[in-house]
Amino acid sequence: MTLSAVELTQELIRFDTVNPPGNETPCAEHLGRLLEAAGFEIAYHPLAEGRNNLIARIGGNGAKLPLCFTGHTDTVPLGLQPWSVGPHAADIADGKLYGRGASDMKSGVAAFVVAAIELADRLEGTPGLVLVITAGEEVACQGAFDLVRRGDVLGEAGAIVVAEPSSNKPWIGHKGALWLKAVTAGVTAHGSMPEKGVNAVYKAARGIAKLEDFDFNVARHPVLGGPTLNVGTVQGGINYNSVPDRAEFGLDIRTIPSQDHGRLKEELESYLGPEVELEAIIDVDGVWTEPDDPWMTQVFAVMERIHGAKPEIESATYFTDASALTPAMGKPPTVILGPGEAAMAHQTDEYCVVARIDEAVTAYREIIEGWCGL
Identify the CATH number of the domain in which residue 246 sits. Answer: 3.30.70.360
The per-residue pLDDT for 2 is 79
Q: Does 36 participate in catalysis according to the annotation?
A: no
Residues 254 and 330 in one domain: no
DSSP summary character for residue 121: G
Where among 236, 261, 284 does a domain terminate? 284
* Model pTM score: 0.94
> Average pLDDT, stretch 366-374?
97
CB 179 within 8 A of CB 265: no
Tell me the mean pLDDT in the region 318-332: 96
Helix, strand, coil percentages in the chain from 3-state DSSP, rounded to 5? 35, 25, 40
Chain segment 131-155, per-residue pLDDT in tens: 999 999 999 999 999 999 998 899 9
- Phi, psi of 321, rounded to the nearest 5 degrees: -60, -15
For residues 170 and 217, state if they share a domain. Answer: no
What pLDDT score was predicted for residue 1? 55
Q: Tell me: do 107 and 54 sit in the same domain.
A: yes
Which of residues 216, 249, 284 is at a domain's end? 284
pLDDT, tens digit, for every residue of 8-41?
999 999 999 999 999 999 999 999 999 999 999 9
Give the pairing type, strands 334-336 and 159-162.
parallel
Q: Are residues 147 and 23 in the same domain?
A: yes
Q: Cα–Cα distance between 51 and 117 in angstroms, integer?
A: 24
Name the DSSP class of 308: S
Residue 137 annotated in active site: yes
- pLDDT score of 302: 98
On the CB side of 178, how many CA atoms lie within 13 Å of its CA? 22
Classify residue 242 by burial, with Cβ atoms within 10 Å: 0-12, 13-18, 19+: middle
What is each CA distance from 307 to 167, 347, 356, in whole angstroms? 11, 27, 11
What is the tens place of the pLDDT at every residue in 172-213?
Answer: 999 999 999 999 999 999 999 999 999 999 999 999 999 999
Q: Which of 24, 137, 321, 350 is catalytic?
A: 137
Measured CA to CA, the distance from residue 236 to residue 182 in angstroms comes to 12
Encode pLDDT of 255-307 as tens digits. Answer: 999 999 999 999 999 999 999 999 999 999 999 999 999 999 999 999 999 99
The last residue of a domain, from among 284, 308, 329: 284
What span, in angstroms and rounded, lies between the C-alpha atoms of 352 and 356?
A: 8
Q: Are both 40 and 141 inside the same structural domain? A: yes
Q: Are residues 154 and 185 in the same domain?
A: no
Are 235 and 294 within one domain? no
Beta strands (DSSP E) in 246-364 are 246-255, 277-284, 287-288, 314-316, 334-336, 351-353
Going by their DSSP bridges, the two strands 228-236 and 129-134 should be labelled as: unpaired
Report which DSSP code applies to 122: G
How many CA atoms does the CB half-sphere of 345 hold within 13 Å?
23
Residue 151, domain CATH: 3.40.630.10
Task: Render pLDDT for 76-115 as a digit per residue (tens, 0 to 9).
Answer: 999 999 999 999 999 999 999 999 999 999 999 999 999 9
Q: Do 28 and 106 fall within a single domain?
A: yes
Based on the domain organization, do 121 and 162 belong to the same domain? Answer: yes
> Do 94 and 199 sit in the same domain of this protein?
no
Number of domains in the chain: 2
Q: Which domain holds residue 215?
A: 180-284
Query: Same domain, yes or no, for 34 and 157?
Result: yes
Question: Within this chain, do residues 77 and 170 fall inside the same structural domain, yes or no?
Answer: yes
